[in-house]
């Protein structure tokens, strides 16, 4: 029987976290690194990567950065190859990079719809496919953690957000997770998703400025997500502690999706 501390250890493991230079992505990447994993983060801008790498270095964590815009279909395989070049292989993939767009459905431009779907769905598919083909499937092991959202579990109240494209994309990620878990379990690959509720981030800044107090008041725990609230879940899904968990969607939302 393995000690609990060892079950949650990621010593000797490697991880690729997209959108890992700030916000929720950085929080999760740091958590994986703190548990012993060597980490590659990707982001669209080198300046953001540099700031994030300083945070890793301050904690004594081995980390690398790769500039990649996953809205570009050619970027997915290039990122997978670059991460494997730096790490040797990829044990853990966190598909966190994403975009949102707020507009009434009747006014939503096609290019806005395409921007959200191309990054949030197509980019996740292409990168996951590349990492699976190049590293996880040949090695018959791996953990894929997709970042969905509680916006993918239900619609919006009429007096709140108008985010049809974002909600649709995250709903797609929910079933992408379940379906891939069923298919890639034969290769020893776990596929799960985290569905965050409302966390302060660049994407949610405007919404929380206008409605943050109300959203917190409507949450059973009475608070928004914080800087440590995704760490435990991502480590669980990435580690041996979660080896018999696959195809699951874990809402981390203070209880919003329960009520």
DSSP per-residue string spanning 106-146: GG--HHHHHHHHIIIIIHHHHHHHHHIIIIIHHHT-EEEEE
Helix ranges, 20-132 (H): 23-34, 46-58, 73-87, 110-117, 123-131
At residue 204, the pLDDT reads 63
Which residues have a catalytic role annotated? Answer: 166
pLDDT one digit per residue (tens) for the chain, 259 residues: 899 999 999 999 999 999 999 999 999 999 999 999 999 999 999 999 999 999 999 999 989 999 999 999 999 999 999 999 999 999 999 999 999 998 999 999 999 999 999 999 999 999 999 999 999 999 999 999 999 999 999 988 887 779 999 999 999 999 999 999 999 999 999 999 999 998 876 666 566 666 667 777 889 999 988 899 999 999 999 999 999 999 999 999 999 999 9
Domains (ranges, CATH) in the chain? 11-258 (3.40.50.720)
97: its two tokens: 């990079």
Please give the pLDDT value at position 205: 57
pLDDT at 211: 66
């Amino acid at each position: 029987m393995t000690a609990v501390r060892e079950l949650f250890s990621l010593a000797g493991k490697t991880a690729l976290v997209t959108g890992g230079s700030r916000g929720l992505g950085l929080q999760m990447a740091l958590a994986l690194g703190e548990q012993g994993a060597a980490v590659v983060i990707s982001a669209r801008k080198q300046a953001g990567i540099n700031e994030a790498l300083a945070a890793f270095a301050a904690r004594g964590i081995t980390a690398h950065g790769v500039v990649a815009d996953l809205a570009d279909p050619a970027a997915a395989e290039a990122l997978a190859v670059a991460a494997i070049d730096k790490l040797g292989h990829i044990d853990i993939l966190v598909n966190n990079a994403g975009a949102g767009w707020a507009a009434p459905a009747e006014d939503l431009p096609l290019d806005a719809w395409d921007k959200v779907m191309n990054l949030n769905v197509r980019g996740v598919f292409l990168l996951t496919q590349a990492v699976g083909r190049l590293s996880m499937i040949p090695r018959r092991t791996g953990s894929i953690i997709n970042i969905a959202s509680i916006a993918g579990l239900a619609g919006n109240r009429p007096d709140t957000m108008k985010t049809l494209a974002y909600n649709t994309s995250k709903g797609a990620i929910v079933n992408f997770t379940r379906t891939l878990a069923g298919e890639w379990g034969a290769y020893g690959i776990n596929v799960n998703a985290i569905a965050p509720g409302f966390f302060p981030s660049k994407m949610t800044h405007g919404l929380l400025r206008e409605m943050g107090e109300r959203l917190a008041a409507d949450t059973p725990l009475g608070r928004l997500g914080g800087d440590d609230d995704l760490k435990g879940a991502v480590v669980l899904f990435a580690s041996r502690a979660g080896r018999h968990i696959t195809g699951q969607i874990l809402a981390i939302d203070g209880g919003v999706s329960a009520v």
